[in-house]
Structure 1
């Protein structure tokens, strides 16, 4: 490790700045490029993170060398290198445990109708820094001298917790509209405040986010939601109008503010649920360490079905019947548009669908079969469902909040007791598919599935049964099915179920 001391930085860093460690490969690479007659600087996030007292997992460098010259310098030094980003001036490589990217000085801009950047290589470090997204990322360390280059006041802005652009925000966002999403992400991750002129440009140019690919938008959204303060990041998306294009279902929740106060502010409630879900991620048993995107995004989206289901009842009350089911479908639809993988879509939308299932337990209580169904329906999402349901309590009525917490404590205790008795988290029918087919004399097909579901319902309703009892129940069910034909004698035809596959 190489240590950088506060005295090496401009006075803005402060005389008491801590020593900042750098991996030795940074200096080694700088010396290699210098020996070959080229400039090299550590740039962007890794430099910013030095001032935040942390080391970036990836190391980004910029150089005056073109990609061919970069390969010539690193090919014998690196463990491996790749040229996937060559068209953008970037050569990737690995040295020991470090992943490194070296990019030729450049300027890039988006064609108004294109999702892909048009790249032009630059000639100076200062010009390269000017094209970067924010001043706190427009800092560099020249190598191997470790000279800080900060032409746009990144250190000062970082200390002030202010997010600004090196040039006019409108120019920066025109070049790469994804930077507007990144501003909201940094507000979540770093706790910075977006400068007024940056926020104004985001509002004016929000619609330009539509030229960015869904995958890039999705990746920024995930980082935002997984940040330290996702509430602030989401709020910025909504306030600037970006959410109208990225998460319109969340933006629509603001329209549900009821001036007559007949129901709570659904938008602020959703942000509070998100905040509370974050606080419940890591508990003593470590069952759900954070950040957990599935839980957090389900918390944010859990009430998006309310705008479409709001009804004013004759009594003056407001209802949102089936908003859980509607919200689940809206969530899945939005996530598909953002190109999330199927497993994540299913998990989040299922949690949204189930988030109301608990309510009513405290008043009426549940039978053991109802508890089994709750666990069976949640499946591997049970731990997340526990936390989502608890997070959904935002009432200011202390007594009501305590009652709900007590009821859910009771439900979790009953689940634990039943799991000990029955291994509830792996509920299966008392007979498997092979035994069902042998007993009924049928072949694989839809009829086996129907029989299996019948036995599963019996298992959930009544708990485990002995094999003989389960077989008797199955045979009784079978005699009531339209496919069943009694066998009169040895020459009688086989049950229709055998011929109907």
Structure 2
């Protein structure tokens, strides 16, 4: 039995949302080449020839025991059979470690140098030393065939030299368990199902799914990621095992949050993140992979929304980015920065699945922190890449500001008022990778999420999109598109020199006045702004004093002089 799309177990609202996407072609299922062959590049051919000939030389001295044999393992074989170029070459050796084989190559003068040996590191899921080697300007990783035995609560296995069969059986999926024999130049499928599953588009574990996941629960997420990446269906026993409470507990307790975050990040940046999130939701895994720390949860200002909202979020962002015919098109300007920047798309997608935590805060050192911060920092440990940690909390804040402004600031025709709001650091801040356009798009997403209660209120959704399109039209009409990101016409030093004041806390409101004036007077010059400042100062309208206290930095500088 196999899971087909949509996945069973989805809530009614999630199923409705998936039907919204049913008219768009999902990603094409990756099909293997016909005939089923591995085509080597010239570089790969050179590497295989060198290793084959070297093994023949080594085997001349083997009088007892198994001759040395090398196989390219795993993902490279899968990708080659699918017609996908891959540079991730792992060579598995049957009778010695990768480090020992690399040293023999070096001693024989077959390579100039050995790269790095990546030592055993259980925290990074590195249970076996891997040696990197450069052959003819082509990097390969050398490992030995192995068998793995897991015991107790640990996901750190006992590793021994293994046979090709044992090595294939301990891998996550049948389609990832095939070898390319460097000597015979043939694909070897020791599970007996890898090639058939590749042809049929099936994600299946080599051994019983529950046993595979008990050994390493991270493989659940890898199953989902490869299914969504390749457009494959998931074998039913995987779904049953993934829903098992003991397996879910093991995933939560045995797997580092870094590894969970890494899988989610790869999934969300893949060709069909919706399918990946559907599978996780149907397996009941979203509360495990998307969670703050226990401390943050205990001081949270409220309970998160249903995980349906995570699925709604990712589906809606895909609807918007793909300009689905079910809804009015989003203004092209609103989409421009997102479609052009990979990191912005990744950030919006991760933010969309964190919708259940919007508006919630937790207490930390007597400060209120957005709960999404804990999910990103501690639950997924995504850090600063793609501005996840510093950017996503601001996306949620920007959505609140923009949503509120429709009944206040945006209802006016004031260029300065609208411009100042859109220059808010949570809305437009290149330092954290955000632009007002992507912030407005995320705000629209948050409003559309609320247009579903079991089914889509298309009239409400249409009205919402049109509201945002009109806002963009107003921004264009007011010639604000570039002004939102323009630097102040006078910098802080120039303002101080003009007003003959010292730098200090008063500079923040002063610079805001400068920017406000700048927005009110498009095309004005710096000289005109300086004249205005002096006039305002003479009238006492700036609320400043010429005798502002010296900063500590200035005092120290004078003391040194």
Residue matched to 2:24: none
Take 2:549 and 2:383, find their aligned partners in 1: how far apart are those partners? Answer: 39
Q: Aligned match of 1:349 in 368, 381, 393?
A: 393
Residue matched to 2:249: 207
Q: Aligned match of 1:127 in 166, 185, 194?
A: 166
CA contact (8 A) 2:209 2:238 kept: yes
Q: Aligned match of 2:90 in 56, 60, 66?
A: 60
Deviation at 1:470, TM superposition (A): 3.8
C-alpha change, 1:15 and 1:305, in structure 2 (3 Å) is closer
For the pair 1:300 / 2:300, whether they are aligned, the reply is: no
C-alpha change, 1:397 and 1:347, in structure 2 (3 Å) is same
For the pair 1:244 / 2:287, whether they are aligned, the reply is: yes
Take 2:536 and 2:87, find their aligned partners in 1: how far apart are those partners? Answer: 58
Q: Aligned match of 2:318 in 272, 275, 278?
A: 275
Structure 2: 5+ residue stretches without partners: 1-30, 60-67, 121-127, 293-301, 324-329, 362-367, 555-561
Residue matched to 1:497: 549
Map 1:170-209 → 2, pairs under 5 A: 170-204=210-244, 205-209=247-251
Take 1:458 and 1:376, find their aligned partners in 2: how far apart are those partners? Answer: 14
Residue matched to 1:148: 187
Map 1:39-50 → 2, pairs under 5 A: 39-50=69-80
Take 2:465 and 2:135, find their aligned partners in 1: how far apart are those partners? Answer: 52
Take 2:414 and 2:112, find their aligned partners in 1: how far apart are those partners? Answer: 62
Deviation at 1:227, TM superposition (A): 1.4
Deviation at 1:332, TM superposition (A): 1.7
For the pair 1:430 / 2:489, whether they are aligned, the reply is: yes
Deviation at 1:474, TM superposition (A): 5.7
C-alpha change, 1:307 and 1:200, in structure 2 (3 Å) is farther
Q: Aligned match of 1:226 in 269, 272, 295?
A: 269
Normalising to structure 1: TM-score of the pair?
0.77
Give the secondary-structure state (helix, strand or coil) at the position aligned to 2:270. Answer: coil
Deviation at 1:29, TM superposition (A): 4.7
**1:367-420 CA distance string (max 9 Å, x none):** 32343135323324224335435555475455544444444333334434555x
Give the secondary-structure state (helix, strand or coil) at the position aligned to 1:84. Answer: strand
Map 1:87-126 → 2, pairs under 5 A: 87=120, 88-95=128-135, 98-109=138-149, 112-114=152-154, 117-126=156-165
CA contact (8 A) 2:416 2:517 kept: no
Residue matched to 1:321: none
Deviation at 1:499, TM superposition (A): 7.5
Residue matched to 1:409: 469
Of residues 145-154 and 470-479 in structure 1, the stretch that sits farther from structure 2 once superposed is: 470-479
C-alpha change, 1:14 and 1:184, in structure 2 (3 Å) is closer
Give the secondary-structure state (helix, strand or coil) at the position aligned to 2:220. Answer: helix
C-alpha change, 1:476 and 1:151, in structure 2 (3 Å) is farther
CA contact (8 A) 1:163 1:192 kept: yes
Deviation at 1:160, TM superposition (A): 2.2
Deviation at 1:475, TM superposition (A): 2.1
Take 1:496 and 1:356, find their aligned partners in 2: how far apart are those partners? Answer: 36
Residue matched to 2:41: 23
Give the secondary-structure state (helix, strand or coil) at the position aligned to 1:355. Answer: helix
Deviation at 1:55, TM superposition (A): 1.6
Q: CA RMSD in A?
A: 3.8
**1:1-20 CA distance string (max 9 Å, x none):** xxxxxxxxxxxx99943654
Take 1:357 and 1:479, find their aligned partners in 2: how far apart are those partners? Answer: 28
Take 1:212 and 1:96, find their aligned partners in 2: how far apart are those partners? Answer: 38
C-alpha change, 1:474 and 1:340, in structure 2 (3 Å) is farther
- Aligned residue-pair number: 452
Residue matched to 2:442: 388
Take 2:481 and 2:342, find their aligned partners in 1: how far apart are those partners? Answer: 30
Take 1:499 and 1:104, find their aligned partners in 2: how far apart are those partners? Answer: 64
CA contact (8 A) 1:40 1:143 kept: yes
Deviation at 1:44, TM superposition (A): 0.7
Of residues 53-62 and 218-227 in structure 1, the stretch that sits farther from structure 2 once superposed is: 53-62
CA contact (8 A) 1:33 1:40 kept: no
CA contact (8 A) 1:33 1:73 kept: no
Take 1:163 and 1:462, find their aligned partners in 2: how far apart are those partners? Answer: 61
Deviation at 1:335, TM superposition (A): 0.6
CA contact (8 A) 1:109 1:174 kept: no
CA contact (8 A) 2:78 2:175 kept: yes
Q: Which has the higher contact order (CA 8 A, sep 6+)?
A: 2
Take 1:469 and 1:386, find their aligned partners in 2: how far apart are those partners? Answer: 35
CA contact (8 A) 2:311 2:353 kept: no
Q: Aligned match of 1:137 in 176, 185, 199?
A: 176
Deviation at 1:293, TM superposition (A): 1.2
Take 1:151 and 1:48, find their aligned partners in 2: how far apart are those partners? Answer: 14
Normalising to structure 2: TM-score of the pair?
0.70
Residue matched to 1:70: 101
Structure 1: 5+ residue stretches without partners: 1-12, 258-264, 309-326, 486-494
